[in-house]
Amino acid sequence: MKKAILSAISLLIFSSPRAKEGLWLPPNLIDRQNDLEVSGLRLPIEKLYNPDGTGLNNAIVLFGSGCTAEVISSKGLLLTNHHCGYGTVQGLSSVKNDYFANGFFAKNNAQEIPCPGLTVTFIRKIENVTDKVLYYLPDTMKNKIRDSIIALRVAAVEKDYEKSTGLDATIKPYYNGNQYWVIVTETYKDIRLVGFPPNGIGKFGGDTDNWMWPRHTGDFSMFRIYAGKDNKPAAYSKDNRPYRAKAYFAINTSGYKEGDFTMVYGFPGYTQEYISSYQLKQVYDITDPIRIQARSIKLDIWKNNMDNSRDLFIKYASKFAHIANGWKKWQGEMWGLTTNNVIDKKRAYENKFQQWANDQPAKPYAGILPAMDLATQAVNDAMRNDEYIKETVLGIELVQQGATLDKMLQCFRSKMPVAQLQDTLKKLCNKGFYKNYDLATDKQVFRALMPLYFSNSTGMPAYYSRTYRGYNKNFAHWANDVYRRSAATGIDKMEALAEGAQAGDSTKILADPAWKLYTAVTEYRTKKIVPLMQRYYNKMNTLNRLYMKGQMEESPRHDFYPDANLTLRLTYGHVKGIDPDGPAGYSYQTTLDGAIAKDNPDIEEFKVPEKLKELYKKKDYGRWGVNGTVPLAFIADNHTSGGNSGSPVLNAKGQLIGTNFDRVWEGTMSDYYFDPSVCRNISIDIRYTLFILQKFGGAGWLLNEMKLVKN
């Protein structure tokens, strides 16, 4: 009877509540053809992925280092999220050219703005090379030896692929190192800004609405890929031409209805669906709560100061959005883990797994879970202390700049000639940091976060406790002195240090309080915490690899997919509304009506631009109007993660109907546990994107290069 109950629990965990989940590797979609077609796919499976250049994989790019974008014209036009382009546009903005307040829409190719440092990467081919990497490697081989052999084999196989294709090749592990796949890529480096709506559209609702549904955010931006005359990647040049795309998405302007089949194709960043209850408890008890606590304090200070200064708002907008995004997500994650009793569900499965493993004496599975239990208990205190260091002390920008001072110190110690020393130090001054830095704001953060560290640390550098006593345990006095004396508080001070540098001037850095704070805490981590954590992670890498393999053997009928690792995946589901707290009448779609209803000129996050209000008042929607309004956003039950921001949302024919930009707050635990009753991805309707582009931005010329279709 007990075994029957445990089997039922396992079936419940691995089937019914997780039926719609999955982040599928494109080459393996052929194995899911039947399920895709039953779900609604009306496109030949080989059109989704093939390595000959015509598959839809060739119309999707990794945008920068953590988002997705899609090619929507034969001339290399890219569509992604507003928040994906936010950091790039911040670097292009100023008080004079305030693209956050006013937006930007090029009226022709000549007006498109180069974006230094921005890249996009195409995935040309993905192949399973597990046999070439893992042949004759026993599962129980010592980890250090096993890893060194794998590293040598990976390097050799990557080199072979690069030689045979003439492209870049990277091999990544999947299923916790039980499989290896090579990814052949092509990266373009001349990317230019084409369209970026103002924050009143692209960031409408701000952090209040972030992760929430209903949603009314026009979260899109447009860029263009430029290439050399041979259509290959090239550094920026005025002679470059728009990239000639063999594959790009047709845009369906007929819309959708609830229940319609959808796909999301992109680069999900990180999931841990198969970890043990012991590791999940660390997330629930340690990392998420500490991050939420520390970032709440920092964000309150930043927001108050940003609200009172437009200049400071521009400086901190991108940083604030980045910090706040995780802060709110982790709160939803904890809510979802609690509501779904995920830790208890994992424990129930682990009991069943342990019984199965005990019956497999010839296999290395019986000791895995007990070893995980012991390993996590042994490291929890160090993990807690480290998390407080990273979120408090190293969350202070001036302390972070101690790293720059430390690099300067190494230059002094290298005994290079004075002229070379001065030139090298100037290059290290980090002007980009100071462009977006405010000393007074950072001092407030210091005064708020240092007490949090002191009250929660179970061990700290002797320099910290000694210095704290030296200021009579007064954090305000300590902050005043640090920010008065440190050279790292301003670019003028840093450049003065560099320009007048002489061989013996290293004493200036050794006496700098920001350098002392940085080096004291990093040395403490290096000696007291990092070795413990590294041993733990090494041990858990082995245990997780074996546990993953064991789960796949224990439940052979379950469709296991590899955890997200910022590689190309396809997920599919259906347009579907949500009632997270019971019947609520939430629709699957929002419209411009809802955005106008939220308009509040006194609150920056909810201030609708005047031009958009005029268009609404006149009902001047052009071809994008539907039933007297414009469809704005919709939700579906596709399994997405961070990195899917900007991903194309496709209909059954593989045509673009929207751009993914968020998840609902109630379902953010999907990185650890996918519950189809509450997990929803949020997308901007392509019709709203085109309405804003044409009627608000006056960039209707771009429609001429798109392939617009109807059902």
Active site residues: 83, 219, 645
Rounded to whole angstroms, how far apart are CA atoms 221 and 218?
A: 9
First to last CA, the chain: 54
Residues in the chain: 711
Note every long-range contact of 130-135, with CB atoms under 8 Å and residues 24 or more positions apart, other chains counting.
130/178, 130/179, 130/180, 130/181, 132/157, 132/180, 133/157, 133/171, 133/180, 134/180
User: Taking the C-alpha atoms of 197, 202, 206 and 212 in order, what is their torsion angle to the nearest 10 degrees?
Assistant: 170
Rounded to whole angstroms, how far apart are CA atoms 287 and 386?
A: 10
**Residue whose C-alpha is closest to residue 698's, from 89, 110, 194:** 194
> Quick one: tokens of 677?
């009753």
DSSP β-bridge partners for residue 251: 656, 708
Give the DSSP H/E element, type plus range, for residue 685. Answer: strand 681-685
Exposed, middle or buried: residue 467 (CB in 10 Å: 0-12, 13-18, 19+)?
middle
Rounded to whole angstroms, how far apart are CA atoms 353 and 658?
A: 41
Phi-psi region of 40 (alpha: psi -120 to 50; beta: other; left: phi over 0): left
Q: State which amino acid sits at residue 694.
A: Q
DSSP β-bridge partners for residue 265: 570
Q: State which amino acid sits at residue 546.
A: L
Is the distance from CB of 262 to CB of 637 less than 8 angstroms? no
Note every long-range contact of 151-158, with CB atoms under 8 Å and residues 24 or more positions apart, other chains counting.
154/180, 157/129, 157/132, 157/133, 157/182, 158/182
CB atoms within 10 A of CB 654: 21
Is the distance from CB of 76 to CB of 234 less than 8 angstroms? no
Rounded to whole angstroms, how far apart are CA atoms 434 and 594?
A: 39
Pairing of strands 251-252, 708-709: parallel
Is the distance from CB of 565 to CB of 123 less than 8 angstroms? no
Query: What does each C-alpha distance from 457 to 391, 393, 395, 549, 627 come to in angstroms?
Result: 12, 11, 15, 38, 59
Asked if residue 173 has a cis previous peptide bond (ω within 30° of 0), the answer is no
Residues 6+ apart with CB under 8 A from 472: none
Query: What does each C-alpha distance from 426 to 117, 397, 405, 486 come to in angstroms?
Result: 20, 20, 12, 17
Rounded to whole angstroms, how far apart are CA atoms 504 and 47?
A: 65
Is the distance from CB of 276 to CB of 343 less than 8 angstroms? no
> Quick one: tokens of 546?
């074996």
DSSP β-bridge partners for residue 24: 570
Rounded to whole angstroms, how far apart are CA atoms 487 and 493?
A: 5
